[in-house]
Amino acid sequence: MPHRNSLTGRLKMKILLRCSAVALATFSCSLLGEAIHLSFPIYVSHSGEFIKMISSLIGTLFAIVLGLLISSSYSTFNSHQADFNAMATATANIDLLLKLYIQQSCQLRKELLETIERVLARYWPDKSNKHGSDIDYNFLEEDVAVMVSINNAFQTIDHVSRDDINAIRQYSNQFISIQTNIIRSLSNQVPSLLLVIVFSWACLLFFLYGIFGSASAFEIFFLFLGSLAISSANFLILELTHPYQGMFKVSSTAFELLHEAMSKDLNKKSAAR
């Protein structure tokens, strides 16, 4: 458990440090602009209209790209949630098909339950010592082997219908293909260089804002609030692109409820014997 917590803690600390660096950089640039205004007021007054046009251009670019980044990150987060809900549905359908032949499929249902436990442990740091960046396609080998085993054993059950065989193959394929999409999405994080470029625009923008300032305490306070707002945007992007830890997490409720229901059912069957 300490190792699990340390992985999540290190990631949270990394996100916090990066957001703090963004806030500090933008606020420092605004103070630098204020200092230049106080040192060279004549040059600032002569170039005021030109500086305003440049700041408008940079502000527009920054707002558009930042909005797209946040929207894209949020869409990715929602896609992960939808994928896991769909994978839970496929797993539940496999279990329902196995329950149609309850006497012959008890061991197969236990294998399916173990697969659910691996999925929960694989993606959620509070249930495993892995996090998103540690997950790759090698983790699917055991799941694929279990699904193949379940399909092969299911075909040998007495009086099983062809429709049920085709259905369990379809749901097994969905289980693997959805998880493949999840792993592929985890490997496509927002490039760090892109974030550096975008938030460098924010630093330049706050520098230009500072040039037009009067260096009053009231004004500096609002520049500080603005830098916190920029930092919070960076926080949202980083949190949403790491969907299994932090404040914003993909919910594991669908799999947990399925795991609980299957565990209770299998325990009842074992007790009845």
Q: What's the chain's Rg over C-alpha atoms?
A: 27
Domain that holds residue 176: 2-272
State the maximum Cα–Cα separation within the chain, in Å, rounded to a whole number: 93
The 10s digit of each residue's pLDDT in 86-133 is 999 999 999 999 999 988 888 999 999 999 999 988 888 665 444 444
How far apart (Å, rounded) are the C-alpha atoms in residues 70 and 186?
16
DSSP code for 129 = S
Q: What is the band of 41 on the pLDDT scale with cuts at 50, 70, 90? A: confident
Phi first, then psi: give them for residue 195, nearest 5 degrees.
Answer: -65, -40
235-270 per-position pLDDT tens digit: 999 888 888 877 888 889 999 999 999 999 888 876
Task: Establish how many alpha carbons lie within 13 A of residue 183's alpha carbon, considering only the half-sphere containing its beta carbon.
Answer: 15
Q: What is the pLDDT of residue 2?
A: 41
Cα(52)–Cα(57) distance, rounded to whole angstroms?
9
Summarize pLDDT for 217-229 with one digit per residue, the tens.
888 999 999 999 9
pLDDT > 80? residue 9: no
> pLDDT tier at 20 (50, 70, 90 boundaries)?
very high
Neighbours of 168 (CB within 10 A): 23
Q: Does the pLDDT value for residue 1 go beyond 70?
A: no
Q: Report the percentage of the chain scoring pLDDT > 90.
A: 53
As a whole number, mean pLDDT of residues 29-45 equals 85
Whole-structure pTM value: 0.79
pLDDT tops 90 at residue 173: yes
The alpha helices in 100-216, defined as continuous H runs, are 106-123, 140-155, 162-187, 192-211
Number of domains in the chain: 1
What was the pLDDT predicted at 112?
94
